[in-house]
Amino acid sequence: MLPLRLVLDTNIVVSAALKPAGLQRTVLLLALTKPARLYLSPPVFAEYRAVLSRAELHIRKGLRHQLLQLLENRAHFVAPSGSLQVTSDPADNIFLECADAARADYLITGNQRHFPKFWKKTKIISSREFIGIVGPHLLS
């Protein structure tokens, strides 16, 4: 299987932190495991850090630091070449910018309605769709 180039929306990372047995935790772990490659840009990583730090989410400091350290060490960082104005929520453009710079195969999000179905060669999909794509390969 060829390496899958992935970008994760913040809602996937937050759900992974909040629900250890959840689908998003599986998605995050698969994204950090070969043959997948997770791509981050500095703005995406900064958003992860900011949102995971929100007091109302009650994410333990130790878990937050562990998760951010894992992402920083295992993800591949890219520098977007410019800013985009494509998504219905302007804050989500950083994910398309990252996907663009990474030439990502998939952008995985819990808010598909904020994004187009495709951005260039990147397909925007849900966690469940991602598991449906990679699941058969995990069993072989």
Instruction: Write out pLDDT tens, residues 65-77.
Output: 999 999 999 999 9
Residue 13 belongs to domain spanning: 5-139
CATH number, domain at 132?
3.40.50.1010
Q: What is the per-residue pLDDT across 23-74, written as a single tens digit (0 to 9) for each?
A: 999 999 999 988 899 999 999 999 999 999 999 999 999 999 999 999 999 9
pTM: 0.92
Residue 125: phi, psi to the nearest 5?
A: -135, 165
Q: How many domains does the chain have?
A: 1
Q: What is the DSSP string of 53-116?
A: T-GGG---HHHHHHHHHHHHHHSEE---SS----SSSGGGHHHHHHHHHHT-SEEE-S-GGGS-
